[in-house]
């Protein structure tokens, strides 16, 4: 959504109320291309890069491509990085936030597909699924990881009582209520799967739409094929433990908003580009 306001000179100016949150760890070779693609396909979205303790030039290239950069003091992991992005979105009054991974796998051409579904169906979160439409092409991960995804999909579907096909997809968009929830409480270890359950626990509405994804532009996944079984066991354990974890009340559930839980022991420094 784009809103109009009057600047200090009394002239009408345009401000974007949509934010693309781009978590990135050592993605110096891919980040500029990812930002350029977002700006080309979704010019009504501001771009915020969360540099999650990178040791390369990710932040430099992101600033050079015109993005705002939040530099984490050390590597927090995807959950901590994304919660930082949601806190930023909340504090800067964004209405919509979409996660677009810095490695180039999420195709920004689908951002407005997510946005259209978010508003048309009055949802709080929309996730791009690689498996919802079997006739779509695109990268669908390795064979070993697809087995794990199917198991997660079955477990999550049983818990929430609705079919989920791609619970590990990070290509997701939230409205203002989703932003406020994830700014207060966001899973740190295995956020993609647990976030779906978190939305369900707070009686917020989510849905999938079919999208095509791409192979990583550079680098490799942090989870190798030999680690897939270990990862699957840990995610399933985290899911079942999470079912019994006390959570802050959401405003939509009639409770007072809880205080943010810290995303790290050091402060987060925002580097803004002009």
Question: HEC string of 48-107?
Answer: EEEECCCCCCHHHHHHHCCCEEEECCCCCCHHHHHHHHHHHHHHCCCCEEEECCCCCCEC
Q: Please report the pLDDT score of residue 263 as a whole number.
A: 46
Are residues 144 and 94 in contact, defined by beta-carbon separation less than 8 angstroms?
no
| Prediction pTM value | 0.82
Mean pLDDT (the chain) is 83
- pLDDT tens digits, residue range 185-206? 998 877 899 899 999 999 999 9
Q: Which residues pair with 253 in a beta bridge?
A: none
pLDDT of residue 259: 47
Which range has the worst mean pLDDT, 9-18, 42-51, 125-134, 228-237?
Answer: 9-18
207/196 Cα distance (integer angstroms):
10
In the chain, where does DSSP find H-type helix?
A: 31-41, 58-64, 78-91, 111-120, 143-160, 176-184, 191-201, 228-242
Query: CATH assignment of 2-248?
Result: 3.90.550.10
pLDDT at 221: 53
pLDDT for the residue 188: 83
Helix axis angle, 31-41 to 111-120, nearest 10°: 50
Q: How far, in Å, are 8, 43, 94, 103, 206 from residue 5 at the CA level?
A: 10, 18, 15, 35, 31
Q: Which of the four pLDDT bands, split at 50, 70 and 90, describes residue 10?
A: low
> How many CA atoms are closer than 13 Å to the CA of 227, on its beta-carbon side?
7
Q: Which residues pair with 21 in a beta bridge?
A: 48, 99
- Secondary structure of the chain: what % helix, strand, coil (to 5)? 40, 20, 45
Provide the Cα torsion 142, 171, 109, 115; round to 10°. Answer: 150
Q: Give the relative orientation of helices 228-242 and 191-201 as an angle to the nearest 10 degrees.
A: 20
Distance, CA of 10 to CA of 16 (rounded, Å): 18
**203 CB neighbour count, 10 Å cutoff:** 10
pLDDT digits (tens, 9 = 90+) for 11-27: 555 567 999 999 999 99
Domain residue extents for the chain: 2-248
Q: What is the pLDDT of residues 138-157, one digit of tens each?
A: 666 667 778 888 999 999 99
pLDDT classification of 175: cutoffs 50, 70, 90? very high
């Amino acid at each position: 959504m784009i809103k109009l306001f009057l600047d200090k000179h009394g002239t009408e100016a345009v401000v974007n109320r949509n934010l693309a949150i781009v978590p990135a760890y050592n993605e110096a070779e891919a980040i500029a291309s990812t930002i350029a693609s977002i700006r080309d396909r979704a010019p009504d979205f501001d771009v915020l890069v969360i540099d999650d303790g990178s040791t390369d030039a990710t932040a430099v290239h992101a600033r050079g491509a015109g993005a705002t950069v939040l530099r984490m003091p050390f590597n927090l992991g995807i959950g901590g990085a994304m919660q930082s992005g949601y806190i930023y979105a909340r504090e800067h009054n964004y209405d919509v936030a979409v996660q677009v991974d810095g490695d180039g796998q999420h195709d920004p051409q689908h951002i407005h597909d997510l946005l259209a579904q978010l508003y048309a169906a009055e949802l709080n979160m929309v996730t791009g699924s690689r498996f919802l439409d079997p006739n779509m092409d695109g990268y669908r991960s390795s064979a070993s990881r697809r087995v794990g995804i199917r198991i997660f999909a079955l477990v999550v579907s049983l818990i929430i009582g609705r079919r989920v096909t791609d619970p590990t997809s990070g290509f997701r968009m939230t409205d203002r209520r989703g932003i406020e929830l994830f700014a207060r409480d966001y899973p740190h270890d295995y956020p993609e799967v647990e976030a779906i359950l978190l939305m369900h626990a707070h009686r917020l509405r989510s849905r999938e739409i079919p999208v095509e994804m791409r192979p990583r532009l550079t680098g490799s996944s942090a989870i190798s094929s030999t680690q897939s079984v270990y990862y699957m066991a840990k995610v399933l354990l985290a899911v079942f433990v999470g079912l019994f974890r006390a959570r802050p009340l959401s405003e939509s559930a009639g409770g007072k908003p809880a205080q943010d839980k810290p995303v790290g022991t050091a402060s987060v420094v925002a580097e803004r580009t002009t």
